[in-house]
Amino acid sequence: MHYEVDDDPVRIDLDAVCAFLTTEPYWGRWRTETVIRDQVRAAWRVVGAYTADGGQVGFARAFSDSVSAAYLADVYVLDAHRGHGLGVRIIQRMIDEGPGAKFRWMLHTADAHRLYRRFGFTEPSHTFLERAADLP
């Protein structure tokens, strides 16, 4: 199957992103559709993966200071489209092929460490502090 990976924010299907992120991932089901829409609209950069007919099957967003650091978030590929290298292509487009190619990238994840190591991410560390959000 042919896929296209694109960083055009206009192409992002917010309904598809909300449908996935409010039901599927362990990392963010607590978010409402309104919160997700606001996060995507405010993102520094977004990347989508699309089938030949334009259906969105993957996504990632990032927020950044636009100078030296960025945070990778909400990376996913729909189950039916996994195994075609889309996760790699999405992350490569986001990190290596964009304006943040020289940035320090960060993310939180409980899985897919092997995938992220391909892009220079190190093993999980407990050297960071975080405060949980209290969002609606």
Question: Which domain CATH number covers 60?
Answer: 3.40.630.30
Task: Determine the average pLDDT of the residues in 20-38.
Answer: 92
* E strand or H helix at 48: strand 45-51
On whether residue 131 sits in a domain, the answer given is: no
H helical segments located in 53-127: 86-91, 113-117
* E strand or H helix at 35: helix 33-42
On whether residue 46 sits in a domain, the answer given is: yes
Look up the pTM and report it: 0.91
Confidence of residue 108 (pLDDT cuts 50, 70, 90): confident
Number of domains composing the chain: 1
